[in-house]
Amino acid sequence: MLAEHLIADMHPVVKLVTQRLALGLLLMLAVSALIFFGVEALPGDTAQAMLGQSATPEALANLREKMGLNEPVLWRYGHWLYGFLTGDMGVALTNGEDIAKSVGGRLGNTLFLAFWAALISVPLAILLGLLAARYNGRWPDRLISGVTLATISLPEFVAGYLVLYFLAVKLQLFPAMSMVFPGMGVFERLSAIILPVIVLVMVVLAHMMRMTRAAILNVMQSAYIETAELKGLSPLTVIWRHAFPNAIAPVVNVVMLNLAYLVVGVVVVEVVFVYPGMGQYLVDHVTKRDLPVVQACGMIFAAVYIGLNILADVVSILANPRLRHPK
């Protein structure tokens, strides 16, 4: 009863943010269980995979005992989840390396790639969305919408190989492989990632631009927009100062979803350009059936995706004036 009274007395914004955070934690717990038990259900024996087919029964039994494979599955799930939360992701079966240490560098590379793709695509998408809304139904709107929709219609691997062929092979403007390594300077790293950044911008630009355009056009039907127009303000001023701030919530949602994609959905792009990020790391170990690495990568991708979605929900709540100033 006390908890119910506390929730009822909460400010609407605090209440909704708390609910979103709790929902995110529950969803993360459900995803962790799905990843762990899904991998457990796969055929094969981890100890057998590590020691090979020629291993003796005694060696297999000793390794299973050492790895805790003889323990109940729920105990192993709890131990694995606790290890992940404390930074202990185990060791890779193929090379015995610490997974957390290997993932750290790879995740840094992926975040570096996603940061620069977002830095270009987000402002560009908002600008193009504003221009398309300003010239709604006219040739600039049709041109912007047509070009962006054409780019998003291409599968990622097709866009990647086209960019690779024309810019790296034919024109030889950029390196074909986006190899980065510790000790590289910032400008060297930027030069190496230009091609995958171009492909990622092509992939996410259209969605953000279309949502920005639709949100602004929806707000433009409001009475206060007509008042601003009657005051003699220019169309661009009306859109930027009055329409866009009130259309920010859906725009933020779609931006966050695409930022999540830039981190989670880069597997194909990283493989095409041989970029040493999380996607390439995951694919390499999937082919080797290195299940602890697959589990760790799956949890990291899920945490990033769910975290950015929760952040989008929280920003949308905070951007809603009816929730910030309830009657």
pLDDT digits (tens, 9 = 90+) for 172-224: 888 888 888 877 888 888 888 999 999 999 888 888 898 888 888 888 877 77
Q: Report whether 110 contacts 279 (CB < 8 A).
A: yes
**Cα Rg of the chain (Å, integer):** 25
CATH number belonging to domain 106-290: 1.10.3720.10
Nearest 5°: CA angle at 140, between 136 and 144? Answer: 95
Question: The tokens 């020629």 sit on which residue?
Answer: 54
Q: Report whether 163 contacts 199 (CB < 8 A).
A: yes
Q: How confident is the model at residue 2 (pLDDT cuts 50, 70, 90)?
A: very low
Q: Would the pTM of this model clear 0.85, i.e. be above it?
A: no
Strand partners, 91: 98
> So where are the chain's domains?
106-290
Tokens of 281: 């790391």
Q: What is the pLDDT of residue 41?
A: 76
Q: Which helix (H) or strand (E) holds 198?
A: helix 194-219
d(CA 321, CA 19): 19
The mean per-residue pLDDT over the stretch 56-85 comes to 79
d(CA 125, CA 112): 20
Most confident range, picked from 59-73, 80-94, 214-228:
80-94
Question: The tokens 């950029």 sit on which residue?
Answer: 174
For residue 30, pLDDT over 90 is answered with yes
For residue 70, pLDDT over 80 is answered with no
No. of H helices and E strands in the chain? 18, 0
Q: What is the pLDDT of residue 6?
A: 46
Strand partners, 98: 91
Q: Report whether 135 contacts 235 (CB < 8 A).
A: no
For residue 3, pLDDT over 60 is answered with no
Q: What is the pLDDT of residue 312?
A: 82
d(CA 112, CA 116): 7
Which of 64-68, 252-256, 287-291 is predicted least confidently?
64-68
d(CA 40, CA 250): 39
Give the pLDDT confidence of 126-165 residue by residue, as tens digits.
Answer: 899 888 888 888 898 899 988 888 888 888 888 889 999 9
Q: What is the pLDDT of residue 320?
A: 64
Sign, CA dihedral 98-100-103-109, equals negative
Q: Is 98 helix (H, G, I), strand (E, B) or coil?
A: strand
- Classify residue 62 by burial, with Cβ atoms within 10 Å: 0-12, 13-18, 19+: middle
Q: What is the pLDDT of residue 46?
A: 67
